[in-house]
Amino acid sequence: MRTDTPTSEVRSGPGPIGTSPPRPDGLAKVTGAAVFADDLVLPGLWFGATLRSPHAHARIAALRFDPARAPEGTVAVTARDLPGPNGVQLIDDEWPVLADGVVRHVGEAVALVAAPTRIAARQALAAFTVEYEPLPAVLTMAEAAAAEAPPLATVEIAYGDVEAALAAADVVVEGTYRTGHQEHIYIECQAMTAWEEDGVLVAAGSMQCPYYVHKSLVHAFGLPANRVRVRATAVGGGFGGKEDYPSLIALHAALLARAAGRPVRLAYDRHEDIVATTKRHPAEVRHRTGLRRDGTLTAVDVEVLLDGGAYRTLSSVVLSRAALHAGGPYRCPHVRVRGRVLATHTAPNSAFRGFGAPQTQFAMERQMDRAARALGLDPYTIRARNVAGPGDELPTGQVLDESAGGRLCLEEVERRTGFTARWRELERERAFRLGDGSVRFGDGAEGRKPARGVGLSLYFHGAGFTGNGERRMRSPVAARLLADGRIEVLTAMTDMGQGCAAVFPQIAAAAAGVGAEDLVFAEPDTAEVPDSGPTVASRTTMIVGGAIASAVGELRRRVDEWLAARGETPGAFRAAAARYVAAGEPAEVEVRHEPPEGQQFDDERYQGAAYPTFSWGADVAEVEVDPDTFAVHPVRVTAVCEVGRAIHPRLCAGQVEGGTLQAVGWALLEEVKLADGRYLNDRLATYIIPTVRDTPRIDVHLLERPWAGGPFGAKGMGELPMDGGAPAVAQAVENATGLEIDELPITPERLYERDRDGRRVGG
């Protein structure tokens, strides 16, 4: 094991693996020079606006546009003007481009306009008349479950005999846990510009997946692939929110651009972005857990319900990942996970960092805490007794590889924070303040001082696509030698902040044995780069980075062999490569990611290797809870993450810092409130994310157990930190208040109600 604390060491160029050179896009971002989606300047640009449903569910009885009431020249588009199928091509195409005859959520796009200015476009929306006939709406998971409509997706994992194991268990603990919507709040709202250029339909904007957008344009417009071109601009944050939605907004912009015969931009303001775009799935997770008296897990039975919203989008794969992480990073001989995504008349929920796993791991970690209390164990001991390690089997039968670092993380976070002693001390303090539960938290604080609490979580995250995703895509990257001997690397990955702009050059330089000056990276533009897959699922460094290493390594080998065959000694690579190119030798290579033979998954029966590997983490959170206001202030989070190999430790730690805060925000502050299917807090003034004042200090320690399948040992880790923060904070609040936490976010109102109703933890 090597503990690698990020250093502030600065070097020029890509630098060796494990150093932290300045990110290549950094200077452009701090000087304002970076070009984001709404910064593109185009001659003759018009602006679009979108007419949206005010109803959760309604029939559109009539839809009329009166040009006389719109600014001169306005163009309007409705579902009747679509050139092809009315569906956004993702896994399927059931998500309408524009509502046709019926609307299924508030904010659904009904019609589009384009006009010469942003203001004119908004004014033009008033020229539409829509007659809606409201229909009954299903607005919550509870209503959806009661309605017994067919689910959007289902999954079942069966391992061992869970009913027999529950019957034989020393103790059975039950629990139900709920988490709410979460809005991405990437600081750059969604924006896309489309135009036609020499018979090619072009879309440029903010996105994670240029080839998803490409595929949806090809599908909806019925165009050959080479007549559609998609370019990613600088991406001002994604977190999953720019995985599928950019396909829809690109379709809208393209429809308007064709109708107007000029470039048209759709740029959402924050209000529209919150109302229209996807969110994290709300979840309800029910557990029945069997244990021996010493805390060993013998049976885990989980039922997962997700609120999918009105359309399937990516819900089936979110459910899959949710279910595969539902038993947590633990060893257990008998596991059953049953999951369903229910449809409601709300905006579709889809990808958000963690992709279902934060919801189910929150539930599992809370359930472990509940079981520990039932057995008189502390949170560390029950986790240490059950954490899965190398050679252990997960519920799909996947055997963990030697890089499985859960126990290392647990021990290291305990060593660094002295968690267990501190937790016990605060338990005693609380018992002193509140007696055996007879005194309310709000009445028992000594001198009205905030009460302190600490909490521990253990978590893991499957790196890369679930199941056979990578095998199906076999996504290529390309590399070629330029005439001047530099290596150009071509991928479709976008840097939304996570830092592939820095990490890819490091990988390529190390794999080819060249310097920064010998490398060029193509922009993510489908006219130039191959479809190396979407920038999602913690796959970019591990999967695409691995393919880059192979591709540039192959070019290096060719040049070296060519030199050797000519009896020449290798001098400077670039000069030699330039001569190799001039000699007409093969200078291009395409490498496809091929999963290892042993990595097989049966996606009918949910058996086999669900992920190439896992990254691991353990968090300790310390909070203060105000006994007057019930506000929870997070003081510090210590996150210990095992990531295989940190190519760029500063950026890697940056992922953990940012992901941890998103998790803490989800745990404490972020709550989407709905009434009649309408978001009540649809602005940044009312949807609250953490400011620097609400933020704990986040102390990150990276552990490295290099994984043979990743470039230089790296494992995917971008989503990992989203899994650990919420359960650690929840346990810390319990430690401080003695109040049972089974629902997020932990708002003052919820805490107060629990105190009033006497919902205390045992002990």
Sites for other proteins among residues 373-432 (CB under 8 A): 416-419, 422
Closest CA to 239 of 280, 191, 269: 280
> What single-letter DSSP state applies at residue 615?
E
**Which residue from 636, 678, 750, 759 is in contact with other proteins, where contact means CB under 8 A?**
636
Strand partners for 340? 154, 305
- Using CB under 8 A as the binding rule, the residues of this chain from 440 to 479 that contact other proteins are 454
Applying the rule CB under 8 A, the residues between 240 and 269 that interact with other proteins are: 269
Q: Does 684 bind other proteins (CB under 8 A)?
A: yes
Is the alpha carbon torsion for 219, 220, 223, 228 positive or negative?
A: negative
Does residue 43 belong to the site contacting other proteins (CB under 8 A)? no
Around 585, how many Cα atoms within 13 Å sit in the side-chain half-sphere?
A: 20
Strands of 613-625's sheet in order across: 2-4, 697-704, 632-642, 613-625, 451-463
- First-to-last alpha carbon distance for the chain, in angstroms, is 38
> SS3 letters for 448-472?
HCCEEEEEEEEEEEEECCCCCHHHH
Please choose, out of 38-46, 76-84, 86-94, 312-320, the segment that lies near other proteins by the rule CB under 8 A: 38-46
* CB 315 to other proteins: min, Å: 24
Rounded CA-CA distance 112/194 in Å is: 14
Q: Does 549 bind other proteins (CB under 8 A)?
A: no
Closer residue to other proteins (CB): 364 or 663:
663
239, 233 Cβ separation under 8 angstroms: no
Nearer to other proteins, 35 or 527 (CB): 35
* Contact map string, positions 279 to 318, toward other proteins, x by CB under 8 A: ----------------------------------------
Closest CA to 401 of 4, 723, 724, 713: 713
Site for other proteins in 598-627 (CB under 8 A): 622
CB of 744 to other proteins, least distance (A): 18
Give the nearer residue to other proteins in terms of CB position, either 453 or 553: 453
| 486-525 residues near other proteins, rule: CB under 8 A | 496-499
Structural contact between residues 587 and 480, judged by C-beta atoms closer than 8 angstroms: yes
- Binding flag, residue 234, other proteins (CB under 8 A): yes
At 192, list the tokens.
């896309």
Candidate list 88, 363, 625, 698; residue touching other proteins; CB under 8 A: 698
Evaluate whether 703 touches 1 at the Cβ level (below 8 Å): yes
State in angstroms the smallest separation of the CB of 76 from other proteins.
24
Residue (of 217, 219, 221, 238) closest to 229 by Cα position: 217
Q: Is position 46 an interface residue for other proteins (rule: CB under 8 A)?
A: no
How far apart, in whole angstroms, are the C-alpha atoms of residue 535 and residue 506? 18
Among 2, 64, 80, 697, binds other proteins (CB under 8 A): 697
The C-alpha angle 616, 618, 622, rounded to 5 degrees, equals 155
Q: Does 25 bind other proteins (CB under 8 A)?
A: yes
Separation in Å, CA 684 to CA 98, 671, 681? 27, 12, 8
CB of 664 to other proteins, least distance (A): 8
In whole angstroms, give the CA distance from residue 640 to residue 619. 6
Among 88, 152, 165, 189, binds other proteins (CB under 8 A): 189
* SS3 category, 4: strand
Among 344, 638, 737, 747, binds other proteins (CB under 8 A): 638
Closer residue to other proteins in complex, CB, 78/662 = 662
Binders of other proteins among 699-738, rule CB under 8 A? 699-700
Q: Which residue from 15, 236, 617, 710 is in contact with other proteins, where contact means CB under 8 A?
A: 236
Q: Which of 2, 16, 33, 101 binds other proteins (CB under 8 A)?
A: 33
Yes or no: say if 726 and 178 are a contact pair by the CB < 8 Å rule.
no
Please write down the HEC assignment for all residues of 149-218: CCCCEEEEEEECCHHHHHHHCCEEEEEEEEECCECCCCCCCCEEEEEEECCEEEEEECCCCHHHHHHHHH
Q: CB-wise, 595 or 659, nearer to other proteins?
A: 659
Q: Which two tokens stand for residue 24?
A: 């290549």
The residue from 124, 653, 703, 720 that contacts other proteins (CB under 8 A) is: 653
Q: Nearest distance from residue 253's CB to other proteins, in Å?
A: 18
The residue from 645, 650, 715, 754 that contacts other proteins (CB under 8 A) is 650
Q: Minimum distance from CB of 10 to other proteins (Å)?
A: 5
Q: How far is the CB of 497 from other proteins (least distance, A)?
A: 3
45 binds other proteins (CB under 8 A): no
Strands 335-343 and 451-463: unpaired
Q: Could you say which residues in the range 654-683 bind other proteins, by CB under 8 A?
A: 654, 657-662, 683
The verdict on 233 binding other proteins (CB under 8 A) reads no
**CA 457/CA 619 separation, integer angstroms:** 5
* Residue window 192-231: x/- pattern of binding to other proteins, with contact defined by CB under 8 A: ----------------------------------------
Residue of the chain from 122, 178, 270, 558 that contacts other proteins (CB under 8 A): 270
Where does this chain touch other proteins (CB under 8 A) — which range of 62-70, 84-92, 327-335, 630-638?
A: 630-638
Question: Binding-site residue total for other proteins (CB under 8 A)?
Answer: 72
Pick the stretch among 215-223, 382-390, 608-616, 633-641 that binds other proteins (CB under 8 A). 633-641
Q: Which is nearer to other proteins, 654 or 677 (CB)?
A: 654
Tally the C-alpha atoms within 13 A of residue 335's C-alpha that lie toward its C-beta. 24
Q: Does 651 bind other proteins (CB under 8 A)?
A: yes
Using the Cα atoms of residue 324, residue 326, residue 327 and residue 330 in order, give the sign of their dihedral. Answer: positive
| Cα→Cα distances 493→36, 559, 690, Å | 16, 27, 28
Residues between 85 and 144 with contacts to other proteins, criterion CB under 8 A: none
- Least Å from the CB of residue 189 to other proteins: 8
Site track for other proteins across 166-185, x = CB under 8 A: ------------------xx
Which residue do the tokens 């000069």 mark?
Answer: 575
Instruction: Please give the residues from 48 up to 87 whose contact with other proteins meets the rule CB under 8 A.
Output: none
